[in-house]
Structure 1
Amino acid sequence: MGIIEILGIAGSVSLLAGWRLYLCVFATGLAMRFDAIPVPEHLASLAVLENPWVMGIAAIGALAEFFADKVMWLDSIWDTVHTLLRPVGGALLALAIVDPSDPAMQVIAFLLGGGASLAAHGGKAGARAVVNTSPEPVTNVAVSTAEDVATAGMLYAVYEYPYWAGGIALVLLALTVWLLMLARRIIKQIFSFGKTPKELPPE
């Protein structure tokens, strides 16, 4: 597996960790256990991800996240609690996947992985906060289910077809930016609702 494919996998998984951290930890451990991705020698300690106990806890976390994410406002509380956990988890997942010979690349992978997870988390949390303004629960469940399916599908694609990983990472990054911009615009409209033209802030 070449460096481009490995970087693509690291970027994709870090971005997806901003949506579903526990599912990404479980899937990465599973991929390592079945040798879908190699464990770097200098990061052998991160092989703990394939430990049955770690995978079991990650599976429980993924199950809890699956249900918490379907309940209006509970999903936002869950996202708030995971504001620190997801970026750190994404950064560590990037380290677990990338095997650079240059130590500087390890630092870059850690920082970019954490930054990608934080951005994806911000896009998800912002979009879900907007969805929660809808009084009916169907939209919330539909959006959460779409996230579940998309995360599982893209994780499978990333590990099964590493040559696609770079493209998937770019698509995820574009989606994250779009979600952040959409959430910002809708939240701005919500806070501007009911104001007279004179009260509206200048563009």
Structure 2
Amino acid sequence: MSVLPLVFTSGWASGINAYAVVLLLGVFGTTGLSDDVPETLRRPEVLVIAGVLFLCDSVADKIPYVDSVWDAVHTLVRPVAGAWVGALLAGHSGSLSDVAAGLLGGSTALASHTVKAGTRMAVNTSPEPFSNILLSLAEDLGVGGILTFAMFHPTAAAIIAGALLLLGALLLLFLATRIRRYLRRRAQRREERRLAGRGGGPPGWGAGG
């Protein structure tokens, strides 16, 4: 069976939380739930490092503006992780070249990371922190649920991941449009207040009759 759907799904998930992907795949392989996990991902040191970094990610991802800084730092990390996991999966199965799998996993991770980072920047315009926490929890649960589903139904999971990627891109476009309108209105109100403070008004305002 082709490993292509699993590579695509793991790439999508890596763009959201690369450490969760490495940790989950390692756990699946170590516990014997899946024979498709390469030996490299089952190594104890890999699991420990991935677990610690996953905890760091989980904390940083729920703090407004800290999450955007964290995303910026991981602009390179997540696509590289997606490419690395994809190449490992391909090498383990032998049904897809390592290079092709790496390109697929990396590009998919970059696409989902872009959607995630852009959405977080939009959510950070909200004055309350609960949106970040809820969105982060939804992302963590989504990655865990779909990656687990991919172990048993890789094609269906890849379709779901592709649909979520498309919906995320559309949501990001919608949020970006709304934010631009909000910023324009705020700039206009600021300018109106500035003019009012300087006593500005229509020509002839205040002239004697």
Matched, 1:193 2:185: yes
* 1:29 paired residue number: 26
Distance 2:12 2:168 in 1: 8
Tell me the CA shift for residue 109 of structure 1.
Answer: 1.5
Report the AA paired with residue 49 of structure 1: L
Change (3 A) 1:117 1:92: same
**Structure 1 unaligned spans of 5+:** 40-45, 197-203
* 2:5 paired residue number: 8
Tell me the CA shift for residue 123 of structure 1.
Answer: 0.3
TM-score (norm 1): 0.82
Change (3 A) 1:113 1:120: same
**Structure 2 unaligned spans of 5+:** 189-209
Matched, 1:59 2:88: no
Matched, 1:149 2:149: no
Larger RCO (CA within 8 A; separation ≥ 6): 1
Distance 1:138 1:191 in 2: 22
TM-score (norm 2): 0.80
Distance 1:101 1:130 in 2: 40
Give the count of matched residue pairs. 185
Change (3 A) 1:101 1:70: closer
- Aligned residues of 1:18 and 1:117 also touching (Cα < 8 A): yes
Distance 2:36 2:142 in 1: 24
Distance 1:111 1:188 in 2: 34
Q: Secondary structure at the match of 1:82?
A: helix
RMSD value, Cα: 2.0
